[in-house]
């Protein structure tokens, strides 16, 4: 009659082990997502900074500046 009790105990131990492994995996994934979000934030800031510098170095051409326009071909 002890066999069913052992089976239950074995099943409970296996379930607890699986739960612990899943908890560990969830924590690892959560840490990875956090690190990726931090990296995305840093990259967004760098892109914004580079875009600002690009505008400073090469400002958009104004419509009224005809000195740099190519003359029409006749």
In terms of pTM, does the model score above 0.75?
A: no
* Whole-number Å distance between alpha carbons of 70 and 74: 12
List % helix, strand, coil for the chain (3-state, nearest 5).
75, 0, 25
Q: Which two tokens stand for residue 13?
A: 């131990």
Domain-by-domain residue ranges, the chain?
Answer: 1-55
* Whole-number Å distance between alpha carbons of 67 and 48: 31
pLDDT digits (tens, 9 = 90+) for 3-27: 556 799 999 999 999 999 999 999 9
Q: Which two tokens stand for residue 37?
A: 């979000």
* Whole-number Å distance between alpha carbons of 55 and 52: 5
Q: Which two tokens stand for residue 33?
A: 């997502």
pLDDT digits (tens, 9 = 90+) for 38-59: 999 999 999 999 999 999 998 6
């Amino acid at each position: 009659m002890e066999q069913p009790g052992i089976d239950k105990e074995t099943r409970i131990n296996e379930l607890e082990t699986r739960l612990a492994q899943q908890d560990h995996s969830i924590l690892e994934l959560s840490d990875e997502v956090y690190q990726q979000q931090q990296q995305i934030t840093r990259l967004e800031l760098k892109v914004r900074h580079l875009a600002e510098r690009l505008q400073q170095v090469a400002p958009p051409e104004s419509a009224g500046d005809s000195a740099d326009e190519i003359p029409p071909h006749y």
